[in-house]
Amino acid sequence: MHLDPFYPIVPDTDWLARLLPQGVKFVQLRIKEKPLDTVRAEIEKAIRLCADHACQLVINDYWREAIDAGAGFVHLGQADLAGADLAAIRAAGIKIGISTHSEGELEAALAAAPDYVALGPIYATALKKMPWAPQGLPRLAEWRAQLSCPLVAIGGITLDRAPIVLAAGADTVAVITDIVTSQDPELRARNWIAVTNPWRSLSTDYPQA
């Protein structure tokens, strides 16, 4: 499996409608604190939008709703992983990405045979207060050596830092703050695509989990 090296994470489908026309090919819908009816409607709309733009959509956390809507990929944090019905997710043909922040969490993630593993925060992040210290680039190399699936780097990654992170072992960089706080998110997304483009041809094509 191959993942695009630029992986924006957005809170709703309004953001998808803005970013997908810029050439985004791998994106996560990360909905927080919304009624389930809204979540379901957003997931269904996101699936349609991403299909229209040939973009791989990842649904954060809401694996039951992802199954119902026919989504193709979910992302699970460690708490969600513990309560998720992995057999049901796999039976629906859905790929799984999993967050990790420590060796213990990596062990738990690998036991689930993930389609990608995310490591973070690589750098300090202003998005939310994190209980983990920044992982740093050496930890990326450590994780890369232990994985046979793509590695996603997340946390404090800026346009300038992206090439360094990719060169350190990440297959793709997940980006939230740098996009959603930009004065011109569409232009910023195009800049990200341009900066990460050299890694598109270099990325490893991993076997399916």
Distance of CA 56 to the CA centre of its chain: 10
Catalytic annotation, pick one of 32, 128, 129, 201: 128
Q: Which residue has tokens 């920044």? A: 134
Strand partners, 26: 56
Does residue 40 carry a catalytic annotation?
A: no
Strand partners, 174: 7, 154
- Long-range CB pairs of 43-46 (<8 Å, 24+ gap) are 43/69, 43/71, 44/69, 45/13, 46/13, 46/16
Asked if the bond preceding 121 is cis, omega within 30° of 0, the reply is yes
Catalytic annotation, pick one of 18, 25, 30, 102: 30
Distance of CA 47 to the CA centre of its chain: 16
Does residue 128 carry a catalytic annotation?
A: yes
In eight-state DSSP terms, residue 132 is S
Q: Taking a C-beta distance cutoff of 8 angstroms, is the pair 75, 46 a contact?
A: no
Catalytic annotation, pick one of 45, 95, 99, 200: 99
Q: Is 27 helix (H, G, I), strand (E, B) or coil?
A: strand
Residues 6+ apart with CB under 8 A from 126: 156, 177
Does residue 30 carry a catalytic annotation?
A: yes
The Cα–Cα gap between 172 and 175 comes to 10
Task: Kindly list the catalytic residues.
Answer: 30, 99, 128
